[in-house]
Structure 1
Amino acid sequence: MHIAHVTSFYSVPALSPSSAVRARGIAYRAAGHEFTVIMPGAGASVEWTEYGTIVTVPARGAALRRGFVAIPRAIGRALDRLVPDRLEVADRLSFRQLGVWARENHVPAVLFADDVPTDWASDRAVQNYDRVICSPSSPTSAEVQSSAASRQVFLHPGVDLEIFTPLRHNSALRDTSGAATILVCAAPLTATGSVSTAIDVVRHLINQRKDTHLVVLGDGPLRSRLERSSHGLPVQFLSAQTLSLAERSEVFATADFALVTLGGSIGHAVALESLASGTPVILSGTDHIHIEFGNGGGLNAEEDMTQIAHAVAVLSEEPVESRRRAARDSALPFDAMPLARAMVTLHESLGS
């Protein structure tokens, strides 16, 4: 069968495509299925990868002048051309229209609840989906309407442990920084991404005479403003859109610590990719999916630069190899491949 997956068009993703999507594509293809990812971009394009085909629909820059309404229609036209047998939707902007598309075209559809509004269970649009994939921290069946509860499937968000590994640590890349401590912050360059918090942390550490370098990995409309605010500080900006998954893993694996400045499914994905790469994380703020950290593998902190800087100091006291091993071990329960195989079984059961 041909499975199409629609990623988030609603906001600038921190990391796209996610390693979990790659793992699903590999599992689908191994089971004999075709996989296509539909994602937003500045222009239309088609790319073939080892895990499937990536179809880019114009939804950035000049494409937005047509407004948000036109984007779901553009996704629908892409689906009309692809003629998939199954549809996965992880986009709050278009999930209502795409549910209608699936129903009218008699295509079994799956909705990822972490990527749509939190009140999805009371939205009549859910009736157009055969299954709703929820993380274990989502509302339980008893908390949602019975009609929606019957569609719920609980699966942990995962990370591709083959791509994201400590073996991608790059000493030569690290030497280009020359700093004693390298921090990485992967987040959309938007107000909700809270990258400014990471910049404040670096400013605080530099004022304490701590030799620190920050790598900001992300894209978004606030890049110019954030670059101006970090002027004179050891802060480097990298576009996530220009990096392959392996290159992204290299950035994580080479850093000492990752600052996760946003919560929800996006922050969880960032944390897992860092941990799988052997880099401890510091989760700031709230709304984080629970992760059991090994000793030195990570810490939770208030969304305050002094608290985050203190967490960096605490983790720095752990031996490097010990904390990197603890970080990797913290990610192992979230291996994406078993979850991907569960999705294969789910799709094969729909419509049967």
Structure 2
Amino acid sequence: MRIVRLANFVTPRSGGLRTALRNLGEGYHAAGHEPVLVVPGAEAGDRMEGSDRVITLPGPVVPKTGGYRVLTGRRRLTRLLDELAPDRLEVNDRSTLRWTGRWARANGVPSVMVSHESLAGLLRVWGAPGGLGDRLADRLNARTAEVYDRVVCTTDWAAAEFRRLGTPNLHQVPLGVDLVTFDPSRRKPEVRARYARDDEVLLVHCSRLSPEKRPELAVDALAALRAAGVPAVLVVVGDGPRRPALAYRAARLPVHFAGFLSGREAVAEILASADVVIAPGPVETFGLAGLEALACGTPVVVNAASALPEVVGAAGAAAAGTGEAFAEAVQEVLARPEEGRRAAARARAEEFGWPAAVDGFLRAHGAAPSPADVAAGPAALERVAGR
């Protein structure tokens, strides 16, 4: 079965969406399906990335996003979809690509839209008044639910804005985490010593440095901790349009800007070597970076306004959107015995594996065997797999 996936706002090097697309593609392939990913880029391309065929269409850069691109040109994308003749269509963009749901329906192709962000939350970040933003989000979300056969959300928090509309075709499927790459064994004394002394608290913020991620809250939390006499230092992993402003904000503080780290192992080492990871984004619908930190055995302090409290559970702490609140939550986490808090973090991450996520997504596509299919034997399993 050919599963064609469309995605906008995919960073060329890293990011939660890119991580999810890669792992789901690998899982689809392992299950006997043919994954094809279509994304925007600087130029046209068609290549294999592992088990994924990745087709790049030229797309313009969205201003003030630090390099995000979008797929434009409906005729070009329509021709490509016609050529690919997908058995399933998966769309990782709820707005600019909404028209592809109508294409799928007209061509008899079952379609799924995966909601990777809260539209109401993004509108608030962009300055829309609460009531107006919520009404606009409801209107746009209703249109989205109408044109796709199924809507997939990764958390209760993300599903809430569709559930309040009574969306009948809503499915909830958590994402997963790489429990091998991100593991407590990645903790390295030499990595920690690169940034902090033995008597200092090492904080890490790992994300794209863009407005919706609110990275300034990590800097503000550090300032509040230092003012309270806590000898904390902060490492910021990642890059983006907010970096110059953050550097100015952190001029008098012990903040190390590590930039983009090449290789997941390098990211895992710094996450595992931290005392606490800070994830301040208020509109995160899942938060893969936070889950990767938990897998490394490091507790996470998250924004109470996001979906992350649902993901981290008791393995971290939630804070209101101020530096002072984040500082208090960090101290709350540090007050727990270290061995216990690290064990709890890893145990929580082990509840989220990619195999279960892949199975959930395939079920949303109607492309995974149900218990009845398994009981029916090989013929039913071949039918599900499209063979």
Query: TM-score normalised to the size of structure 2?
Result: 0.75
Structure 2: where are the runs of 5+ without partners?
A: 120-136, 369-382
Structure 2 residue aligned with 1:339, among 351, 357, 375?
357
Q: Distance in 1 between matches of 2:12 and 2:313?
A: 28
Structure 2 residue aligned with 1:315, among 333, 344, 362?
333
Q: Work out whether residues 206 and 237 of structure 2, in 8 Å CA contact, stay in contact via their aligned partners in 1.
A: yes
Q: Distance in 2 between matches of 1:45 and 1:215?
A: 35
Structure 2 residue aligned with 1:156, among 174, 186, 191?
174
Give the equivalent residue in structure 2 for 1:205: 225
1:13-32 aligned at under 5 Å gives the runs: 15-32=15-32
Structure number with the bigger relative contact order (C-alpha 8 A, sep ≥ 6) is 1
Counterpart of 1:185 in structure 2: which amino acid? Answer: H
Structure 2 residue aligned with 1:218, among 238, 251, 261?
238
Structure 2 residue aligned with 1:191, among 186, 206, 211?
211
Q: Work out whether residues 22 and 160 of structure 1, in 8 Å CA contact, stay in contact via their aligned partners in 2.
A: no
Q: Distance in 2 between matches of 1:44 and 1:143?
A: 40
Per-residue deviation, 1:300: 1.3
Please tell me whether residue 282 in structure 1 is matched to residue 283 in structure 2. no
Query: TM-score normalised to the size of structure 1?
Result: 0.81
Identity of aligned residues (%): 30
Q: Distance in 1 between matches of 2:236 and 2:145?
A: 36
Q: Distance in 2 between matches of 1:220 and 1:335?
A: 29
Please tell me whether residue 101 in structure 1 is matched to residue 119 in structure 2. no
C-alpha distance 96-239 of structure 1, shift in aligned 2 (>3 A) = farther
Per-residue deviation, 1:111: 0.7
Greater C-alpha Rg: 2
Give the equivalent residue in structure 2 for 1:33: 33
**Cα offsets for 1:56-78 (capped at 9, x unmatched):** 444464899xx998636465566
1:37-56 aligned at under 5 Å gives the runs: 37-45=37-45, 48-56=48-56
**Cα offsets for 1:4-62 (capped at 9, x unmatched):** 32334299998244544333222211111122333455555555433524444444648
Give the equivalent residue in structure 2 for 1:89: 91
Give the equivalent residue in structure 1 for 2:131: none
Q: Distance in 1 between matches of 2:365 and 2:356?
A: 14
Give the equivalent residue in structure 1 for 2:152: 133
Q: Work out whether residues 31 and 344 of structure 1, in 8 Å CA contact, stay in contact via their aligned partners in 2.
A: no
Counterpart of 2:50 in structure 1: which amino acid? Answer: E
Per-residue deviation, 1:130: 1.8
Structure 1 residue aligned with 2:189, among 166, 171, 180?
171
**Cα offsets for 1:64-94 (capped at 9, x unmatched):** 9xx9986364655664565433221121342
Q: Distance in 2 between matches of 1:106 and 1:125?
A: 18
Q: Distance in 2 between matches of 1:61 and 1:113?
A: 21
Query: What SS does structure 2 have at the residue aligned with 1:192?
Result: helix
The root-mean-square deviation of aligned C-alpha atoms, in Å, is 3.6
Counterpart of 1:136 in structure 2: which amino acid? Answer: D
